[in-house]
Amino acid sequence: MLKSIKSTSTSMILLGVLAVVVGIIAIAWPNVTILALVILFAIYAFMDAGLQAARAFSSRSAGPVFGHLLLALISLAAGVVALVWPAPTAYVLVIVVAAWALVGGVVEIVAGFGSGETAGTRALFIISGLVSVAFGILLFARPGVGAVTLALLFGLYSLIYGFSQITAGVQVRQLGKSFQPLTELRNAA
């Protein structure tokens, strides 16, 4: 058990340190972060193309084969476009995040007016929904600035997440030191 706690705390601390480093890089070089996100999207698209092609050739009938091959070609094209034209790809990614924030915010506001929740929970839904809607509108209004803003927010999130993981890892390690094995407790009784 003590070994498990120590390995858990160590992994939490290492994950936290990695997140802090990523956060610092994202804040120091937001344009590099944007490019990295575009490259990650391209990698995702290429992986999806490969998986769709594999699904196509594992289908037993012609209908799914054609559909999966078409999806594979679309994903392959999306990956190539992302690598050849990273700036427009970043723009489109910002627009997708803007739409996501806008729709998600509206859904949160509607959920805030739903019944069955406490007043505090409803207020949190409404406030977070309003923030999401405002964020979505700002991204739609200024997508170029929005890309840099997303990179900076990603960096800030990574820093906060990293420091929370480091803190939690240290606390888990300290908690593990206060444990006594069950054999010692049985012998004491």
**pLDDT for residue 67:** 80
**pLDDT for residue 113:** 86
The position carrying tokens 């994202």 is 26
Q: Shortest CA distance to 164 belongs to which of 7, 2, 17?
A: 17
Segment 71-123, tens digit of pLDDT: 899 999 999 999 999 988 888 888 988 898 899 889 989 888 876 777 877 88
Where residue 5 falls among pLDDT bands split at 50, 70, 90?
low
Helix ranges, the chain (H): 2-28, 30-58, 62-84, 86-112, 119-141, 143-177, 182-188
pLDDT at 144 over 90: no
Domain boundaries, the chain: 2-179
**pLDDT for residue 124:** 84
Segment 7-19, tens digit of pLDDT: 778 888 999 999 9
